[in-house]
Amino acid sequence: MNDSADIRFLLAIRESGSLIAAARKLGLSPSAVTQRLQQLEKKLDTQLVNRTARRLQFTEEGMLLCERGAELVQQFDSLFEDLQTRRGGLVGTLKINAPLGFGRRHLAPAIADFQQQNPDIDVALTLSDQPLTETIDRFDIVVHIGDLPVSNLVGYTIAPNARFVCAAPALLKRVGQPESPEALSKLPCIVLRENNEDVSLWQFSKGRTRRSVRVSPHLSCNDGDVIRQWACEGRGVILRSEWDVAEDIAKGRLVRLLQGWKAPDADVIALTHQRTGMPARTRHFMQYLQGRFRPLPPWRR
C-alpha cells in the first residue's frame, strides 16, 4: 500500500455498506470490486472484510486501516488543497449536515453565498432531524444546537442562542400566565423530537435555584417549524430556540413566559473531526460562518 488509492477504495466500501453499492459508487463491476479487495488483502497478508451473503463486517484490522487511513487521507488532501489555495483559490467538496429548521432558515443562505464567493468549491448540504445520529464521518462539518454529548468531535462556537418558553396570546387568555416552572406541568405543551433527547424534561434556573419540570406533550413533531406554527395557533406552550421564535415574539404572535427563569442556552456550534490538518475549504467556511453570525446573530439584531 504505497499510495492513498487503496485506503480510499476501502473507505468507499465501508461507506457504501456492500460490495454492490461500492461498485456503483466507484463505477466498477461488482466482480472488479471483489477482485481488488482480494488483491489488497493478499498484498497485506491479512483479511480486512468478512463477506457474507447478507452483509459486510470489517475485521479489527480492516477497521484500524479505515480509521487511521481516513486521517491520513484527510491530511494528504489537506496538504494539496493548501498548495492549491496558495496558487489562487479554494477547491474541493464540502459536506455539511445540519438541523432541519436552522439549516433551512439560516445555514442554506450562508452556504449559497459562500459558494458564490468560492466557485471552485462544491457544497453538499444534508438536513436532518437527528444530525448527531447520522454517520458523522460522512461529513466535514456537522452543525449542532445545544449541549454536545460526550464525543471525540471538536466544536467551534458559531453563534449565541438562548431558549425561551413561549405561548400564543390566545392560549394565555384561556389558561392564564404560569407563575412558576412547576405550573407548566398542568398546561398543554408541545415538544420537538430530535437527537433522541429527553425532550419532555424542561430545566430552569434562577440564580442558584434549579427546577426540572416534566411536561405532558399533547403534540410533538420532529420539525421545529411545525411546533412553532402550532404554538402560534394557540395549541400549546413550547420551549424553543431564540433563533426560531425571536421574530414571532417581536411581532406579538408569541409571548415569552417565565422571564425570571432561564432555560439552558443552546449555542450554535460547528463540529469537525480534528483541530489540526483541517482542509483549507473547511477552515475558511468555519471562519466565514463565525464572521456572518458575529458580533450579533440575525435573531438579536
- Who contacts 15 (Cβ-Cβ below 8 Å, separation ≥6)? 25, 135, 138
Listed in order, the ranges of the chain carrying CATH 1.10.10.10 are: 5-82
Tens-digit pLDDT profile for residues 236-266? 999 999 999 999 999 999 999 999 999 999 9
pTM to 2 decimal places: 0.69
C-alpha span between 131 and 137 (Å, rounded): 12
Confidence category of residue 277, pLDDT binned at 50, 70, 90: low
Give me the mean pLDDT over the 10-38 stretch: 84
Residue for grid cell 425532550: 199
Predicted local confidence at residue 181, as pLDDT: 96
Confidence category of residue 215, pLDDT binned at 50, 70, 90: very high
Predicted local confidence at residue 150, as pLDDT: 61
- Higher local confidence (pLDDT), 8 or 74: 8
- Percentage of the chain beyond pLDDT 70 is 89
Cis peptide leading into residue 99 (ω within 30°): no
Q: Which three cell numbers stand for residue 210?
A: 434549579
Give 91-141+277-300's CATH code, choosing from 2.40.30.60, 3.90.1150.10, 3.40.50.300, 3.40.190.290.
3.40.190.290
Predicted local confidence at residue 230, as pLDDT: 97
2-6, 49-53, 55-59, 289-293 — most confident range: 289-293
- List, in sequence order, every residue forming a beta bridge with 3; answer none if it has no partner: none
Confidence category of residue 211, pLDDT binned at 50, 70, 90: very high
Predicted local confidence at residue 221, as pLDDT: 94
C-alpha span between 243 and 240 (Å, rounded): 9
Give me the mean pLDDT over the 220-237 stretch: 95
Q: What is the mean pLDDT of the chain?
A: 87
Listed in order, the ranges of the chain carrying CATH 3.40.190.290 are: 91-141+277-300
Tens-digit pLDDT profile for residues 121-136? 999 999 987 766 655 5
Listed in order, the ranges of the chain carrying CATH 3.40.190.10 are: 163-257
Confidence category of residue 197, pLDDT binned at 50, 70, 90: confident
93-97, 115-119, 230-234 — most confident range: 230-234
Predicted local confidence at residue 3, as pLDDT: 61
Tens-digit pLDDT profile for residues 152-185? 778 889 999 999 999 999 999 999 999 999 999 9
Q: Say if residue 87's pLDDT is above 60.
A: no
Helix (H, G, I), strand (E, B) or coil at 10: helix
Give domain 163-257's CATH architecture.
3-Layer(aba) Sandwich (3.40)
Q: Which three cell numbers stand for residue 102?
A: 436552522
CATH of the domain spanning 5-82: 1.10.10.10
Q: Say if residue 1's pLDDT is above 70.
A: no
Reported as type and span, the H/E element at residue 22 is helix 19-26
